[in-house]
Amino acid sequence: MGDEPGITRDRIHGTAEHDGRRFELIDTGGIVVADQEYIPAQILRQADVALQKASHIIFLVDGRAEITGSDRDLAQMLKRLGKPVSLAVNKVDTAAKQDLAHEFYGLEIADVFPVSAEHGIGVDALLDRVTAGFTRDAADAETGDTAPSAIKVAIIGRPNVGKSTLLNTLTGQERAIVSPVAGTTRDAVDETVLRDGVEYTFVDTAGIRRKGKTHLMAEKLSVVMARRNIRMAHVVLLVLDATEGVVGLDTTIAGYAHEGGRAVIVCVNKWDEVKGHGGEKKGEFEQKVRDSFKFLEYAPVMFVSAKSGAGMQKLFPLIREVYESASRRISTGELNRFVEQLHFEERKIYYITQHSIRPPAFAVFTGKGGPLHFSHERYLINQLRRRFGFKGTPILLQTRAKKAAKSAE
């Protein structure tokens, strides 16, 4: 992902396959055994969860560097776990450098593999060793080729608005590192949970900063990856900090979700920390949200506390509802009946067809070409919502002249 140290902090899960054997791969943050600082200690805590679950451990070291005291401490810690450990000496991409890998036998790990992750050199031999005890049948059973796809939910927002706490509360485990230090999450951390027979995969993205304030490569990469995860999601939870109100960057981030065509739920977090919060106060805050996010008029607003769990029980059914809205497909027959009852004076609408979902997109065949006026487009979208729902999702319209439809036929 990058050359800057410390980019990975949380546990990153992925599914891999080698020689017909499937397995889950967990990438941990860089471990420093004796460091008592908050973030390194939390990384070690997260890594320990992965180590306890692992069937095989790959200890990755830099083949161009000398063995350090930290390397020795970590090697001793891994050996005490009593699990198979393979030492991958990385960045060994030439025959001359392979001789340097022999020095790492000093870590007293028997299985040493010179590799170049960048060029794929030596990786097959490493994976042969790692998966030697994995059976193909067991791997297929664990991964489940026929498992239903999950509703993928991206959690986005500014740094330190409580996204990781929200993830941990939704999944019921401390999956992401949570700290009062802004910007703790740099990777996209995901977790799949089953609720009422439905799978939800939550992706906690890194806090998005303004481009001008992303000086470090890791932070710039976080912005790129966060936007990528928005595009890949089905539903986006836009997290706001109730104690700080709506700020300009919130609007920018909301725009990313809207432009990506994702279904959106606005989660006003830390609501329990707002003094005198109540029904009237909620109405005032929601109006501020509506005024700031005029383009997100379709997005429901939820008031929650990720820390205490207040309001969280309503989030799962709402996520499912907006996902189903974004996935809804209306038949041409139903749309024709809708057109017959539609009072639309801007131009003659002959018929409407839906050509895609997530977001729902419609082709509107009219008597003349060219886009509808903004106000008329908004009116038509509002009428579609009133008739068919589409809660929480943007709706896209394409205007086509009727003669174009005939020539296409």
Best-predicted range by mean pLDDT among 32-36, 197-201, 217-221?
197-201
State residue 323's pLDDT score.
95
Residue 163 has pLDDT above 70, yes or no: yes
State residue 142's pLDDT score.
39
Q: Are the CB atoms for 264 and 235 separated by under 8 Å?
A: yes
Q: Which one-letter amino acid corresponds to residue 195?
A: R
Residue 31 has pLDDT above 60, yes or no: yes
Mean pLDDT calculated for residue range 362-366: 91
pLDDT confidence band for 183 (50 / 70 / 90): very low
Residue 214 has pLDDT above 50, yes or no: no
What is the token pair recorded at 213?
Answer: 């304030």
Q: Which one-letter amino acid corresponds to residue 172?
A: G
List beta partners, residue 12.
Answer: 27
Mode of pairing for the β-strands spanning 111-114 and 198-204: unpaired
List beta partners, residue 61.
Answer: 89
pLDDT confidence band for 369 (50 / 70 / 90): confident
State residue 408's pLDDT score.
42
CA-wise closest residue to 391 among 265, 260, 277? 265
Q: Are the CB atoms for 104 and 75 separated by under 8 Å?
A: no
| pLDDT tens digits for range 116-153 | 877 677 888 888 888 887 876 443 443 333 333 689 99
CA-wise closest residue to 186 among 30, 72, 317, 342? 30
State residue 352's pLDDT score.
94
User: Which one is predicted more confidently, 334 or 186?
Assistant: 334
Phi–psi pair at 268, nearest 5 degrees: -85, 100
State residue 278's pLDDT score.
63
pLDDT confidence band for 327 (50 / 70 / 90): very high
Q: Are the CB atoms for 247 and 253 separated by under 8 Å?
A: no
What is the token pair recorded at 162?
Answer: 């409580």
What is the token pair recorded at 173?
Answer: 């485990």
Residue 388 has pLDDT above 50, yes or no: yes
State residue 29's pLDDT score.
59
Mean pLDDT calculated for residue range 98-119: 80
CA-wise closest residue to 317 among 230, 229, 232, 392? 392
Residues 231, 184: Cα–Cα separation, whole Å: 22
